[in-house]
């Protein structure tokens, strides 16, 4: 081992080190949502394209894994000379049904890989296009949190970045009922479309400030979560999708009550994220998949060459949509049904 290798931070400590590099800026408040910018004067030298720009420019395409399709996986072809970054929660629309990404990943240059996804359109299994397009949104934030907990359970049990599909469908169905949204195919995207005008108002209200590489969000009285990138340009490009994700939950509160952006709560989430237990798993594509968890937070990160490319964290103990407090399954013991379903897959049943 040379001197440079000896000075590298262990991957289990990468998240703590990354969080210590950022500071909280002044919050912006709109409606029932507040955003604290995460400020960072430094940025990594990792060079990559985003999913949107790579598909828009014809550098990549996404299809079903084969003609018959497979719900939890898609084929991603990168034909350019740069890596392509796909963010956890980003939505792909078209082909046989709409999906969202289970984890953040870097697709290697000039290679084809299989990417892990979850369906967010339960009532369709028929082609409406040969290839997927990107959408302007990410999975709504409470759904992201629940799916992230599910993926962490599978990762810790089997190293597979899978999610509980039936629970994702249930979350979307219940969300649609609460927000009085109807979709012929049970598509999550239709909930966003039905509340499009108000969601757009949130996007206009929250814009990136100087040196911002991440965002920490409150919805109502609750700190919900944060997203932190390795550079300011990635945050700027992906921020509108993330704002839409959090905004849908803010709109659901359906109240005119004014909320305070409490900096002590924001600082507490950063502290708990930095000290959470971290496990390191093989990534999909380039880099590693990190999972972090304690009683207060659940999260995931993508790292490459000892740098955190994207970190996403959600508070475990948050106000549920029904108004009561609960602790999500990320802090509970894996249920027997998960273990049975995993064994059935392993045995080919």
Q: Is 178 helix (H, G, I), strand (E, B) or coil?
A: helix
- Residues recorded for the chain: 349
The per-residue pLDDT for range 144-164, each reduced to its tens digit, is 999 999 999 999 888 899 999
The answer to whether residue 118 scores a pLDDT higher than 50 is yes
Q: What is the pTM of this model?
A: 0.89
In a domain, 86, yes or no: no
Under DSSP, is residue 161 helix (H, G, I), strand (E, B) or coil?
coil
Whether 315 is in a domain gets the answer yes
Q: Is 77 a domain residue?
A: no
Determine, yes or no, domain membership for 114: no
Report the number of distinct structural domains present in the chain. Answer: 1
* Percentage above 90 pLDDT, the chain: 81
The overall average pLDDT reported for the chain is: 89
User: Considering the domain boundaries, does residue 22 fall inside one?
Assistant: yes
Is 338 within a domain? Answer: yes
Check: CB of residue 169 under 8 Å from CB of residue 146: no
What would the pLDDT profile of 176-201 be if each residue is shown by its tens digit? 999 999 999 999 999 999 999 999 99
pLDDT in tens, 232-289: 999 999 999 999 999 999 999 988 888 888 999 999 999 999 999 999 999 999 999 9
What is the domain extent for residue 20?
A: 3-46+140-347
- Does any domain span residue 229? yes
Strand segments (E) across the chain: 23-24, 28-30, 33-39, 48-50, 60-64, 73-78, 83-86, 90-94, 99-101, 105-107, 111-119, 132-138, 212-219, 222-229, 277-282, 288-293, 297-304, 307-315, 317-319, 325-327
Give domain status of residue 73, yes or no: no
């Amino acid at each position: 081992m040379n001197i440079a290798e000896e000075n590298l931070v262990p991957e289990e400590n990468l998240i703590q080190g990354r969080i210590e590099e950022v500071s909280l800026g002044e919050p912006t408040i709109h409606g029932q949502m507040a955003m604290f910018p995460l400020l960072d004067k430094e940025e990594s030298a990792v060079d990559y394209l985003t999913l949107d720009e790579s598909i828009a420019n014809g550098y990549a395409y996404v299809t079903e894994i084969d003609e018959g399709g497979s719900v939890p996986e898609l084929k991603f072809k990168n034909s350019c000379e740069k890596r392509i970054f796909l963010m956890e929660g980003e939505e792909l629309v078209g082909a046989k049904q709409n999906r969202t990404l289970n984890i953040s990943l870097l697709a290697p240059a000039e290679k084809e890989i299989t990417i892990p996804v979850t369906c967010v359109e339960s009532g369709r299994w028929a082609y409406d296009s040969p290839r997927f397009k990107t959408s302007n949104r990410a999975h709504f934030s409470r759904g992201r949190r629940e799916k992230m907990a599910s993926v962490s359970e599978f990762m810790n049990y089997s190293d597979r970045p899978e999610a509980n599909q039936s629970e994702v469908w249930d979350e979307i169905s219940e969300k649609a009922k609460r927000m009085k949204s109807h979709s012929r195919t049970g598509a999550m995207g239709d909930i966003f479309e039905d509340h499009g005008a108000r969601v757009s108002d949130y996007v206009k209200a929250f814009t990136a400030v100087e040196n911002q590489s991440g965002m920490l969000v409150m919805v109502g009285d609750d700190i919900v979560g944060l997203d932190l990138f390795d550079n300011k340009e990635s945050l700027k490009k992906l921020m509108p999708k993330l704002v839409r994700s959090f905004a849908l939950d803010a709109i659901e509160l359906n109240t005119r009550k004014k909320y305070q952006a409490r900096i002590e709560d924001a600082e507490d989430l950063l502290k708990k994220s930095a000290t959470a237990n971290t496990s390191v798993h093989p990534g999909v594509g380039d880099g590693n998949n990190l999972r972090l968890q304690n009683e207060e937070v659940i999260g995931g990160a993508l790292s490459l060459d000892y740098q955190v490319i994207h970190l996403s964290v959600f508070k475990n103990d948050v106000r549920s949509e029904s108004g009561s407090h609960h602790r999500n399954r990320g802090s509970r013991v894996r249920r027997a049904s998960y273990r049975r379903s995993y064994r059935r897959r392993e045995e080919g049943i």
